[in-house]
Amino acid sequence: MSIPGPDSLSAYLGVAAVLFSAGVLAMATRRNAIGVLLGLELMLNAAALQFAAYGRFRADGLDPQGQTAAVFVIVVAAAEAAVALALLFAVYRTSKDVDLEQTRELRS
Amino acid sequence: MTGELSHLLPEATLAVGVLLVLVADMLLPAGRKASAGLLGVVVCFGALLAAAVSQRGSVSDMLALDALAQLARPGVLLATILVLVAGRAADGRDDGHAAWVALMLALALGALVTAGSTNLVSLYLGLEVMSLAGYALAGWKAGDRRSAEAGMKYVLFGGAASGLMLFGMSHIYGLTGHLDFAGIGAALATDMPLPVLAALILAGAGIAYKLAIVPFHFYAPDVYQGAPALAVAALGTIPKIAAVAVLVRAISLTVPDTLVPPTAFGLALALAAIASLLVSAFTAVASRDAKRIVAFSAIGHAGTVILALACMPGIMPVAAAAFYLAAYTVANIGALVCLAVFERERGSAALDALPGAMRQRPWLTAALCLFLFSLAGIPPLAGFLAKWGVLREALRVGLGEAGREHMTVAALILLASTAVSAWSYLLIVRAAVLQPAPEQPRAARLAPGLVAVVLVCAIASVGLGLWLDGFASIARALGG
């Protein structure tokens, strides 16, 4: 079975690291809640890619556990996105905005 | 496999219960739909019964039903029952109550899976089931801006924490080649390279978020203030029980004994505990909202539990943590149920809204004070005995074991922060009892369900405080 793409673990880990950093950056700097959510998806996908890559490039051969974990991550991420979007919609309905600076009501 | 699957009876009961409640909501005639709450309570009692008769064992390498899980399961289910009964009495609405009950059952299901997990995948699944239900519960009040904002913050911060956790977990898997705790522990037994330690700490982020300890605490005040009080009662207690159970198991299985006490890992726990205690004590005093004060001090209570765990290895620290959690859970649920009543009648739980509560609802206010005193650690209530147990463990380790002197400092900080946070609880008591208010009529009688929940929590808060044999009994249950 030949898989297209680079045949080394470090290439995939590098891509995952870039994805993860981009996600963290987006979560930290975006003011729009949808942008924050996009950053979150990048972080989760970086983790899923790492699970799959680590499972594929094991010293003692392919390990299905890594791929399985990646599938779990993808499924749960979809559920999480659904709940998050529902909550953002609830915020939008009450304040007509999902800008995190504008919707701040809770403080001491 | 069939023998193994029978261990999952409580979880299966809850999962079926979620569906049953939703179906019942469709079948029940309008006006009777609130009975779904009763069904939820029955399902929880069923799961409790199943947990009581279940044997110890494990389900492949995913879930373990060890002494810890056997202790955490009834804790989670009893807390769920208390919140469900209070919710059925407090929520006057007819439609939509069933969905709330289904979410509460899903929260309990996630907590049971988390509490029993012995594998990174089952831990992640359990945490997420718990979180997804929790996010929805926090944003539950339809059309309420603050509740929606609380839900949004909870889901965004929670997502960030689970992203960090997954990133750490995938590195743990890659570096050790295992997903199950025992395999990871075996791989780490010989040496613990720095990257793995970093990955372990990242993976701890998800658990730290559920516990709301520093540095994953910043969501708690906003979420607790904005979310409905009963949701806070559930979110502040049930996930904590589960997170502590799995943290204890993860520590005892993955971190080699030789590495726990004086080195980086034990120190990291102690530092997180100290930071939580300090942050909680000094921010709670500045708050002007009763739910916010409860939130800030919840950070400190979680810090105290972590302080007990930092005294591991051994059974007694875990027993102290378990007793502390039990005392905290009943007092916290009781206090928030009382605040839920005041919040509904007075529009908010801000300190400015509380004066006159003593005249309007003398018994409920007295109960609220009892719960707050227990949380503050005033004898002879449960909170005092629980704090004393943690303090004793910290001093035993700090004074008795070489290289762990920092635990003595931690014990002193625990004492100091207890004094400061007691002051913030007294702020609530002062607002509700002492502050003058215009004459208000005695309020109507409370629903029997609410009275029952408050009574049970009050009796438990007093009873646990007088149960001097408690630590030894819990230790026997954990060790046997």
Q: Comparing A37-41, B131-135, B441-445, which segment has the lowest mean pLDDT?
A: B441-445
Which chain A residues touch B196 with a CB distance below 8 Å? none
Max avg pLDDT among A87-101, B189-203, B230-244, B270-284? B230-244
pLDDT of B93 > 70? The answer is: no
Does A90 sit within 8 Å of B148, measured CB to CB? Answer: yes
CA distance B198 to chain A (A): 15
Locate the chain B residue with the closest alpha carbon to A82: B132
- Kindly state the DSSP code that residue B8 receives in the 8-state scheme: G
Mean pLDDT of chain A: 86
Does A91 sit within 8 Å of B152, measured CB to CB? Answer: yes
Does B136 sit within 8 Å of A47, measured CB to CB? Answer: no
pLDDT of A7 > 90? The answer is: no
- Nearest-CB residue to A58 (from B128, B153, B177): B177
What percent of chain B stands above pLDDT 90? Answer: 32
Does B179 sit within 8 Å of A83, measured CB to CB? Answer: no
Locate the chain B residue with the closest alpha carbon to A63: B177
Which chain B residues touch A84 with a CB distance below 8 Å? 135, 152, 155-156, 159
Does A80 sit within 8 Å of B128, measured CB to CB? Answer: yes
Q: Which residue has the higher pLDDT, B206 or B381?
A: B381
Which chain A residues touch B293 with a CB distance below 8 Å? none
pLDDT of B224 > 70? The answer is: yes
Does B148 sit within 8 Å of A69, measured CB to CB? Answer: no
- Nearest-CB residue to B167 (from A46, A68, A106): A46
pLDDT digits (tens, 9 = 90+) for A45-64: 999 999 999 988 887 778 88
Say if CB B249 and CB B120 are below 8 A apart.
Answer: no
Overall average pLDDT of the B435-444 stretch? 75
Which chain A residues touch B139 with a CB distance below 8 Å? 87, 90
Mean pLDDT of chain B: 86
Q: Hey, how many other C-beta atoms are within 10 angstroms of the C-beta on B252? A: 18
pLDDT digits (tens, 9 = 90+) for B298-324: 899 999 999 998 887 778 888 999 999
Locate the chain A residue with the closest alpha carbon to B291: A108
Sequential DSSP letters for B249-317: HHHHHHS-TTTTTTSHHHHHHHHHHHHHHHHHHHHHTT--BHHHHHHHHHHHHHHHHHHHHHT-SSHHH
The length of chain B, given as a count of residues: 480
Res A85: pLDDT: 93
pLDDT of B2 > 50? The answer is: no
Touching check for A80 and chain B: CB below 8 Å?
yes
CA B351 – CA B371 distance, rounded (Å): 17
- Residue A107, judged by CB atoms within 10 A of its CB (0-12, 13-18, 19+), counts as exposed
Confidence of residue B1 (pLDDT cuts 50, 70, 90): very low
Locate the chain B residue with the closest alpha carbon to A45: B163
Which chain A residues touch B155 with a CB distance below 8 Å? 80, 83-84, 87
CA distance B199 to chain A (A): 12
Overall average pLDDT of the B192-201 stretch? 82
Touching check for A26 and chain B: CB below 8 Å?
no
Overall average pLDDT of the B14-39 stretch? 87
pLDDT of A2 > 60? The answer is: no
H or E element in which residue B344 lies: helix B315-346
Which chain A residues touch B143 with a CB distance below 8 Å? 93-94
How wide is the angle at C-alpha B234 spanned by C-alphas B229 and B240, nearest 5°? 130
Q: Six-digit token pair at B331?
A: 């007092």
pLDDT of B69 > 80? The answer is: yes
Locate the chain A residue with the closest alpha carbon to B126: A76
Res B407: pLDDT: 84
Which chain A residues touch B203 with a CB distance below 8 Å? none
Res B258: pLDDT: 54
Does A80 sit within 8 Å of B155, measured CB to CB? Answer: yes
Say if CB B252 and CB B313 are below 8 A apart.
Answer: yes
Res B478: pLDDT: 81
Which chain A residues touch B130 with a CB distance below 8 Å? none
Which chain B residues touch A59 with a CB distance below 8 Å? 177
Q: Six-digit token pair at A85?
A: 């979007």
Confidence of residue B95 (pLDDT cuts 50, 70, 90): low
Q: Hey, how many other C-beta atoms are within 10 angstroms of the C-beta on B123? A: 29
pLDDT digits (tens, 9 = 90+) for B338-356: 988 888 888 888 888 888 8
Overall average pLDDT of the A59-82 stretch? 89
Which chain A residues touch B149 with a CB distance below 8 Å? 91, 103-106
CA distance B317 to chain A (A): 33
Phi, psi of B85, rounded to the nearest 5 degrees: -65, -45
Does A50 sit within 8 Å of B170, measured CB to CB? Answer: yes
pLDDT of B85 > 80? The answer is: yes
Locate the chain A residue with the closest alpha carbon to B293: A108
Touching check for A99 and chain B: CB below 8 Å?
no
Range 57-76 of A in CB contact (< 8 A) with B:
58-60, 63, 65-66, 68-69, 72-73, 76
- The amino acid at B438: P
Domains with residue ranges and CATH for chain A: 11-95 (1.10.287.3510)
